[in-house]
């Protein structure tokens, strides 16, 4: 299988270039192996080498301590290792687009929202899928694309420009159109949805402009743009999830019931509750590596809004 390709000539420093070259080499080596072996190898590499050395394991441990302060360290460490395993497997699965489409095309669609989705497709009604970094978040998109759906998306670019170039290209290879987060990208996504298109958006990332919505018991700034786009485009807002099975290889495409149209904040609260329910069932499948809460930054921003203390 071919090495990940780029669609542009990125500009970055030599450290970013070196990190990207190492990553490309790891992916290229993995893709040369049979599917089961490559998935297991990438899981092992992420758990044993990449996550600890990149500081991601420590970040996961800190996030878990913030959410579950009473959880023993040994349990958090074991959970962090399983998280890394899932992330590694997800990465290499998504870099084999033809294989992903083939495998997910043979998997049945599950969940209470399948009938509503099929009806929307028959009527030409737009759909905005919302999901989180859980299991393999691209699995349901691949399952639908394999059935003839065309599903675009909005993505947040990676900080490493060399990595971002092939990361974005890989998303385009699965299905398009894919828009980069920002004013221009959001405008493109809105236009796509208003024209009857379907798209997917991951909402479980920190954004300082977001509305604080409790996530796993702690406030997490969350953008309401997904709900606003769905409302403006008269689109169904459907949560979906790619749930990894116990064997570490199989993936379920779960299409949940649509979230009723209404206040954007309340719609995103419901989307958050749907994700929380998945995490409660399988906490190792959520990407605990993300800086989802940033409590120190939230406190600083809150203090800045209050201004200096008044003089006695």
In a 3-state reduction of DSSP, which class is residue 57? helix
Predicted confidence (pLDDT) at residue 306 exceeds the cutoff of 80: no
Q: What is the mean pLDDT of residues 147-161?
A: 83
The residue to which tokens 């030409």 are assigned: 124
pLDDT tens-digit map of 53-108: 989 999 999 999 999 999 999 999 999 999 999 999 999 999 999 999 999 999 99
Q: Residue 5, class by beta-carbon neighbours within 10 Å (0-12 exposed, 13-18 middle, 19+ buried)?
A: exposed
pLDDT tens-digit map of 205-236: 999 899 999 999 999 999 999 999 999 989 99
Bridge partners of 199? 128, 152
Strands 127-131 and 198-202: parallel
Percentage, residues of the chain above pLDDT 70: 94
pTM, rounded to two decimals = 0.90
**CB 133, CB 289: distance < 8 Å:** no
**CB 191, CB 152: distance < 8 Å:** no
Least confident of 131-140, 150-159, 220-229, 271-280: 150-159
Please give the residue that has the higher pLDDT: either 41 or 163.
41
Q: So what's the pLDDT on residue 4?
A: 42
Distance CA 294, CA 298 (A): 6
Please give the residue that has the higher pLDDT: either 304 or 260.
260
The residue to which tokens 């979906």 are assigned: 240
C-alpha of 232 from chain center = 23
Distance CA 244, CA 248 (A): 6
Phi, psi for 274 (deg, rounded to 5): -65, -40
The residue to which tokens 């989705």 are assigned: 117
C-alpha of 28 from chain center = 23
C-alpha closest to that of 295 among 241, 232, 221: 221
Distance CA 197, CA 182 (A): 19
Distance CA 269, CA 292 (A): 15
Distance CA 309, CA 247 (A): 56
Please give the residue that has the higher pLDDT: either 80 or 157.
80
Predicted confidence (pLDDT) at residue 310 exceeds the cutoff of 90: no
Predicted confidence (pLDDT) at residue 270 exceeds the cutoff of 60: yes
pLDDT tens-digit map of 281-299: 999 999 999 999 998 888 8
């Amino acid at each position: 299988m071919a090495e990940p390709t780029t669609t542009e000539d990125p500009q970055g420093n030599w450290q970013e270039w070196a990190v990207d070259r190492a990553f490309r080499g790891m992916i290229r080596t993995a893709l040369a192996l049979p599917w089961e072996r490559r998935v297991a190898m990438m899981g092992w590499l992420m758990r044993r080498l990449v996550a600890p050395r990149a500081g991601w394991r420590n970040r996961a441990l800190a996030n878990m301590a913030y959410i579950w302060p009473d959880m023993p360290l040994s349990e958090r460490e074991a959970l962090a290792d399983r998280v890394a395993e899932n992330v590694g497997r997800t990465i290499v699965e998504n870099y084999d687009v033809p294989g992903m489409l083939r495998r997910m095309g043979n998997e049945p669609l599950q969940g209470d929202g399948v009938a509503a989705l099929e009806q929307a497709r028959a009527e030409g009604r737009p759909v905005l899928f919302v999901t989180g970094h859980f299991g393999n978040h691209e699995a349901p998109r691949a399952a639908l694309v394999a059935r003839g759906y065309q599903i675009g998306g909005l993505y947040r670019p990676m900080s490493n420009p060399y990595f971002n170039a092939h990361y974005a290209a890989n998303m385009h290879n699965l299905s398009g159109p894919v828009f980069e987060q920002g004013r221009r990208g959001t405008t493109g996504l809105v236009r796509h949805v208003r024209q009857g298109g379907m798209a997917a958006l991951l909402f479980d990332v920190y954004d300082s402009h977001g509305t604080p919505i409790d996530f796993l018991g702690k406030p997490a700034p969350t953008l309401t743009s997904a709900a606003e786009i769905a409302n403006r485009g008269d689109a169904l807002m459907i949560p979906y999830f790619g749930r990894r099975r116990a064997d570490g290889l199989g993936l379920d495409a779960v299409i949940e019931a649509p979230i009723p149209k209404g206040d954007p904040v309340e719609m995103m609260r419901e989307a958050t509750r749907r994700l929380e329910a998945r995490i409660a069932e399988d906490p190792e499948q959520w990407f605990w590596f993300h800086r989802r809460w940033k409590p120190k930054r939230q406190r600083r921003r809150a203090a800045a809004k209050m201004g200096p203390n008044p003089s006695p």
